[in-house]
Structure 1
């Protein structure tokens, strides 16, 4: 039996499962964060905070830390209290954004079942985990029972072959997939495999799995080696992919960066759950070393975790970035959720590595948000206009 079906069958204590079948799977890890915690706590309180004793629950304070409002601080204090009472693993000292903290602390493994009140828990699919996004209200049942009820989705396999051009990153591949097959993969599980992934870093795998939920996939994951493709198969030669960019109002509105070269930008945002890992920071520092960004451009950099921030210091990346004019934020989500740390005005045009470019996502609804790779963002920040990295 193929990996996806076999993993679900095992978690449901069944011999086999098929697409369209309603099943109940045992959950190995439950995820949450302060961005959805208010709704979660409100719903969970109605059932008097019952929790299955074997549940492992990991929660991060990453969307609004340090608290930008009294309301956010009050929520954080409520999370402290509930976490102590219910034996939740709360990360409340700026350890980083949920998906990076999980990668560092969650002991992720192929086939494990994860549910979380966040739209990008599939980032854990980089490790072969099967991670499903739930609403805050939907998460309460797994918290109480330890199980998650779902309808087995159709699955497609995307085979990524060959190697990237030197100016292209995994984030460009993810954008390419969204643009080419966004409507095809909506509502399905996506398995990723191929020779590209055999040599890709874990950061590249995380970048892929992190962004595919923007097409509405049920989950996305990297197939363990030797596992066979399942469902319909799409073939991608990554060696022909160019630097890509998504334009408003959706991450699936994708085109080549070359089409927008020269467009003026005022803000550049790099980091967070999508591109805040050490290799992203190294690329950014290599672009900016010994150079200055224009005074009219604001470059905001957010390490995905405190471990990455520490490594940036150890490697000497932090002073390089600061000397260029970049602002380095505390580890976490950064500006992406639109709560603080760099909100956009109606006049702003931002090129970012964040995960969504819908109007109003990071401040004003009139601001323009463009999604690109860390390399493209860094090059564009340096020149003050959208720039295509050279091969």
Structure 2
């Protein structure tokens, strides 16, 4: 008698099927999945409220809607302040959870203050909600207009994306950070991630912190990934399409004009910079701040460089203060911003002008992202950014 081994459903298929209320799903299926948490912020908020005013329904459950004011806080213009007041009124009227007192950037607040669990479904009006994939959440980015029906129904209509599983093994070299892994993946296999759900697995994840996992999941949408998540221990990851030995990765950098234009830092060594930016949703956690402080402890910021540091949250700032990191960073010549996005979206303080060359830990380097479209932006790890800040060059 021939015995056939039963194929175990992948973590991704299992929880997508569960959310859709069906026994199984297939790639390309039209499904309607239950959303456990909906997200938005002041960056996409104006379009969200504009779309909201065109319908008359109520938010399905305000307790499951988390909003932040993080792109421009405190308000740099009267228009931003006016919107923030309307956003607050919307949240109060609909019973939504709003953080608008400088608590921090959306994705960090979700990690610190929301209840997250493996397989939960998140939908948000931001391109980097997949940051929550570090905790096994399946988080999908929507436009503000697409989020409105989710807010009224608690459900998301979508086509099931194909799953691409990446296996990471080996140990990182001493100067290499999780951000370098993310950059490497974009440069090497980014073309295979577009419109895919990306599952991350492998022995490396037994040694990575939650912050490190957040850094990797945060950046993969820049390759067009629909979502990215770490497959929880004990769950079935599925066939591994790409295996990566991280011990072979060196410090990486994305050169203008797009995040997938990735090269080893060594290839661009000597490129002069005059602005350095670190922090925000991509690299604003405590371990990132410690790495920056370690570099600044040895050298001060270069006299021709403006170095802007943005903690991801109030909790991170508090820990920095307690450990003396804040004082060290300031005394060595850098500027610490209020918790939030910082200059990244180009809406707040620290924007670039024509001729500026910036190295940043932010998530986009397309022309005009942080101000002038005549400025150049390089994306790198917190260590590479801090090292450039003290040397005046990559």
Question: Alpha carbons of 1:338 and 1:49: their partners in 2 closer, same or farther (altered >3 Å)?
Answer: farther
Aligned position for 1:97: 105
- The question of 1:130 aligning with 2:138 is answered yes
Aligned position for 2:343: 335
Aligned position for 1:389: none
What SS class does the counterpart of residue 140 from structure 2 fall into?
A: strand
Q: Deviations over 1:252-278 (max 9, x none)?
A: 000000001011000000000000000
Q: Deviations over 1:274-332 (max 9, x none)?
A: 00000000010011015321221000000000000000000010111001100000000
Q: Deviations over 1:361-384 (max 9, x none)?
A: 001101000000000001110100
Aligned position for 2:295: 287
Structure 2 Cα separation of the partners of residues 72 and 49 of structure 1: 26
- The question of 1:15 aligning with 2:20 is answered no
Aligned position for 1:255: 263
What SS class does the counterpart of residue 317 from structure 2 fall into?
A: helix
- The question of 1:246 aligning with 2:221 is answered no
For residues 136-147 of structure 1, the aligned pairs below 5 Å read: 136-147=144-155
Paired residue total = 386
- The question of 1:188 aligning with 2:196 is answered yes
Structure 1 Cα separation of the partners of residues 171 and 393 of structure 2: 28
Choose 289-298 or 193-202, whichever is displaced more: 289-298
Task: Tell me if structure 1 keeps the 8 A contact 2:63–2:95.
Answer: no
> Match for 1:237 among 226, 245, 249?
245
- The question of 1:214 aligning with 2:240 is answered no
What SS class does the counterpart of residue 331 from structure 1 fall into?
A: coil
- The question of 1:30 aligning with 2:42 is answered no
For residues 1-391 of structure 1, the aligned pairs below 5 Å read: 1-53=9-61, 56-231=64-239, 233-386=241-394
Structure 1 residue 107: deviation in Å? 1.0
What SS class does the counterpart of residue 35 from structure 1 fall into?
A: coil
Task: Tell me if structure 2 keeps the 8 A contact 1:154–1:231.
Answer: no
TM-score normalised over the length of structure 1:
0.97
Structure 1 residue 231: deviation in Å? 4.8
Aligned position for 2:5: none
Structure 2 Cα separation of the partners of residues 65 and 53 of structure 1: 27
Structure 2 Cα separation of the partners of residues 321 and 51 of structure 1: 43
Structure 2 Cα separation of the partners of residues 110 and 4 of structure 1: 10
Task: Tell me if structure 1 keeps the 8 A contact 2:301–2:391.
Answer: yes
Q: Deviations over 1:151-202 (max 9, x none)?
A: 0111011000011001000000000000011111111000001111111001
Task: Tell me if structure 1 keeps the 8 A contact 2:38–2:124.
Answer: yes
Structure 1 Cα separation of the partners of residues 225 and 16 of structure 2: 17
What SS class does the counterpart of residue 376 from structure 1 fall into?
A: helix
Structure 1 Cα separation of the partners of residues 159 and 239 of structure 2: 16
Structure 1 residue 229: deviation in Å? 2.5
Q: Deviations over 1:55-94 (max 9, x none)?
A: 6100000001000111110000001111111000000100
Structure 2 unaligned spans of 5+:
1-8
Structure 1 residue 30: deviation in Å? 0.3
Task: Tell me if structure 2 keeps the 8 A contact 1:265–1:385.
Answer: yes
Kindly report the root-mean-square deviation, in angstroms, between the aligned alpha carbons of the 2 structures: 0.9
Structure 1 unaligned spans of 5+:
387-391
Structure 1 Cα separation of the partners of residues 364 and 239 of structure 2: 28
Task: Tell me if structure 1 keeps the 8 A contact 2:343–2:351.
Answer: yes
Task: Tell me if structure 1 keeps the 8 A contact 2:139–2:227.
Answer: yes
Structure 1 residue 345: deviation in Å? 1.1
What SS class does the counterpart of residue 181 from structure 1 fall into?
A: helix
TM-score normalised over the length of structure 2:
0.97
What SS class does the counterpart of residue 155 from structure 1 fall into?
A: strand
